[in-house]
Amino acid sequence: MALMNPLRLICVALAASVVLCGAIKLAVAEAGACHDLVGTYLTKNFAKGAGSGDFTSRSVIVLSGSGQASFTDSGEGGEAGFGPFTDGRGSWRCIEANKLHAITLDFTTPTTEQPKADIGRLDFDLAYDPASKTIKGTAVLRLVPLGSDPLAPGKGDGRQFEITGQRVEAP
């Protein structure tokens, strides 16, 4: 087994260091750009196009510093034509300073009207206002059968919501 000559070894180590430093710099920049987004928010959710006083539900959205997202909604008990569903879990990523994209997944529970469970996928696009500590944006809900791939890009418009939320702060 031939040993690498010292110059080649130094070049390989230098190239690896440059790549590693670039990846670390990108991760640090991304974390810094969206650091203020990390937290818990109480939201009002409006069906897209509905009046501002006619919110559909309230929810709690949690964005962790490790990129995990969770979603709990007051409408989990279901509504006419739409079965009950579980809390959602997923992940989020920084798109640019104070803007994020998140995906959460949940499950519908079978009922007499809706005997087959589905997987719900919510795609969130949210912006954070540091001055008011609020989030605002949209969510799109798509349902797929349990045997389908909810991670595949969504097809169609889905059910669209506008979201506004206030950060929950400890006293």
Instruction: Work out whether strand 39-47 and strand 99-107 pair parallel, antiparallel, or are unpaired.
Output: unpaired
Which stretches does DSSP call E strand in the chain? Answer: 39-47, 57-63, 68-73, 88-96, 99-107, 118-129, 134-145, 159-167
What would be the CATH architecture of the domain defined by 36-167?
Beta Barrel (2.40)
Domain residue spans of the chain: 36-167
Contact 117, 143 (CB under 8 A): no
Question: pLDDT for 108-153, tens place per residue?
Answer: 998 888 888 999 999 999 999 999 999 999 999 999 999 999 998 7
Question: pLDDT for 80-92, tens place per residue?
Answer: 666 799 999 999 9
pTM, rounded to two decimals? 0.78
